Chains A and B, each alone.
Chain A
């Protein structure tokens, strides 16, 4: 019933380093703060480009969008970018219903996403 939010992190080295956050479980108004905090810590430690892998998010409410919105703002201020990888149906539903699918850079594959930074 309840799918705890889990966040795993990996670093992609290269000309443009990218931090990948693998998010799974439920991203709702109870858990979105965990994502904001994790991303905030990574940005404070120097991460400029973040790719959010969202294919295993089982539920997302507007709070998830709030977290992404805040992350995008912080990364922009740091001279970097937030991009999204393979949103699950629940994530895509929120993005599309509110028209955010037009404003986020969304990729279907990891390779395409990493090349785009």
Chain B
């Protein structure tokens, strides 16, 4: 299921709609005046956030994810809400990308690190009705 109403898109918590979420964010990021690199970085950060919800939070096709955009002065804020178990990615343990990550036994763990490095601000809260709400801010240039 896919619902797109102006400033928001709602998708089922599967991986099938990731490309649509990326296209939605890309369109709004361009409209908000972000640079080419800024647009690509924000799209990538949102993709990581939504992928993380699906892979580690919602599991399978249960639940729904809402991605909303809020244009701000010289910036765009993207707000992602899901009804998975509470998870605060801003408090997840840091990935140590040390001397030789290729030698690490455990692949993965890169998504949240990538998200953190690509945006200018990240906030997490639990909404009044108990949803996870992650907010990503990307400034113009």
Instruction: Give A residues with C-beta under 8 Å from B.
Output: 1-3, 26, 28-30, 59, 61-63, 65-66, 69-70, 72-73, 89-90, 93-94, 97-100, 103-104
Residues of B within 8 A of A90 (CB): 40, 44
Interface size on B, residues (CB 8 A): 29
For the complex, what is the distance from the CA of A31 to the CA of B110, rounded to whole Å? Answer: 17
Tally of contacts, chain A with chain B, CB under 8 A: 79
- Indicate if B85 sits at the interface (CB-CB under 8 A): no
19 further A-B pairs in the complex, CB-CB below 8 A; given A59-B19, A100-B102: A1-B19, A28-B15, A29-B51, A30-B15, A61-B44, A61-B51, A61-B111, A61-B114, A62-B48, A62-B108, A62-B111, A63-B111, A69-B101, A69-B107, A70-B107, A93-B44, A97-B117, A100-B101, A103-B101
Residues of A within 8 A of B55 (CB): 29
Q: Nearest B residue to A94 by beta-carbon distance? A: B114
Q: A63-B51, A93-B44 are in contact. Are A30 and B107 (CB under 8 A)?
A: no
Instruction: Give B residues with C-beta under 8 Å from A.
Output: 15-16, 18-20, 22-23, 40-41, 43-44, 47-48, 51, 54-55, 97, 100-102, 104, 107-108, 110-111, 113-114, 117-118
Choose among B19, B40, B51, B100 the residue that contacts A26 (Cβ–Cβ < 8 A): B19
For the complex, what is the distance from the CA of A46 to the CA of B108, rounded to whole Å? Answer: 25
